[in-house]
Amino acid sequence: MSKLVTIFGGSGFVGRYIARRMAKEGWRVRVAVRDPNLALHVKPYGVVGQVEPIFCNIRDDASVANALRGADAVVNCVGTFDKSGKNNFDAVQAEGATRIARLAADAGVGGLVHISAIGADAESTSDYLRTKAEGEAGIVAHFPAAVILRPSVIFGSEDGFFNRFAGMTRFSPVLPVVGAETMFQPVHVDDVAQAAVAGVLGTAAPGIYELGGPDVHSFRELMEQMLVVIRRRRLIVNLPNPIARVVATLGGWAEFLSLGIVKQPISADQIEALKVPNVVSEGARGFADLGIEPVAMEAILPDYLWRFRPSGQYDAIKESAKNLRKA
């Protein structure tokens, strides 16, 4: 019988790419999620019955143990940007990750891959980055042979980064950003998936790998490149941190009073996280150690951001028509 991998959060942005690649490797894939009915899109990644979503609550030992039953390897892709509620930073990124590692070790699972984030630091003023580091520490304590991946900002057709800012350009002549000079090293989602598969298959040595694409840009430069791709002109305005905090506070109240209908544009914790460079550290292990050549974002962004152009899919046709000579 083919081997089985359990992927926690396997229907999400990164997890679905890992699930697809593991199915191509011939593995059975168990996708552990909070709502299996919302994860049915993963089933066609393999043959009938090869990829199956199941319910799992990573805050519960019994639920996690059930998801791990019979697994040869485990991948944890679960993360959150929610500071409050039951599925908050501590519950998901610190306690949840530690629980998965502890129960995987108890179950005799052969390998564990964990998706963390560049900038993870137990002393960080950002709760997001602090809990990422605490999750890593819990994993190493229970599963020392784990492979931990720390990607920079991840891009791809379903991303919440370029899609979000490109969408903002449809309604405003101004593109506000926080931390315009913060440096990023964008990495394609499928390259992260390749790294995770290397960890599952045992071709990656245990330890931490920092994953960044071939180019390093400031936040402002990323927005400039995005605007070129979507063929729009917008004024990029850097919001100073004091103003950004006011926006975060007002946005938080708006989300609360609207019962979540109006989403907070940025949180105070995200402002803290944006103070930290989001690039691969000097001397860190990365793609080169995994035998992976990361793809440049310039080769991918036009494939999915075209829909934000003024005329969408017809924009290129209209541009070509302008060059036709009049009869």
pLDDT tens figures, 284-311: 999 999 999 999 999 999 999 999 999 8
Could you tell me the pTM of the whole model? 0.93
Share of the chain above pLDDT 70, in %: 97
pLDDT for res 324: 65
- All residues at 6 or more sequence positions from 182 whose CB lies less than 8 Å from its CB, including other chains: 218, 219, 274, 275, 276, 277, 278
pLDDT, mean over the chain: 93
Q: For residue 294, give Cα distances in angstroms to 191, 192, 193, 290.
A: 6, 9, 11, 11
pLDDT for res 1: 66
- All residues at 6 or more sequence positions from 319 whose CB lies less than 8 Å from its CB, including other chains: none
pLDDT for res 85: 82
Contact 89, 83 (CB under 8 A): yes
Token code pair at residue 133: 């580091």
DSSP state of 87: T
Share of the chain above pLDDT 90, in %: 85
Q: For residue 280, give Cα distances in angstroms to 179, 222, 241, 273, 305.
A: 18, 17, 24, 15, 26
- All residues at 6 or more sequence positions from 264 whose CB lies less than 8 Å from its CB, including other chains: 248, 251, 252, 254, 255
pLDDT for res 255: 84
pLDDT tens figures, 137-186: 999 999 999 999 999 999 999 999 999 999 999 999 999 999 999 999 99
- Give the range among 80-94, 118-132, 213-227 with minimum mean pLDDT: 80-94
258, pLDDT greater than 90: no
Q: For residue 159, give Cα distances in angstroms to 52, 154, 156.
A: 23, 7, 5
Compute the residue count for the chain. 327
CATH class of 4-155+186-214+278-294: alpha beta
325, pLDDT greater than 60: no
SS3 38: helix
pLDDT tens figures, 176-235: 999 999 999 999 999 999 999 999 999 999 999 999 999 999 999 999 999 999 999 999
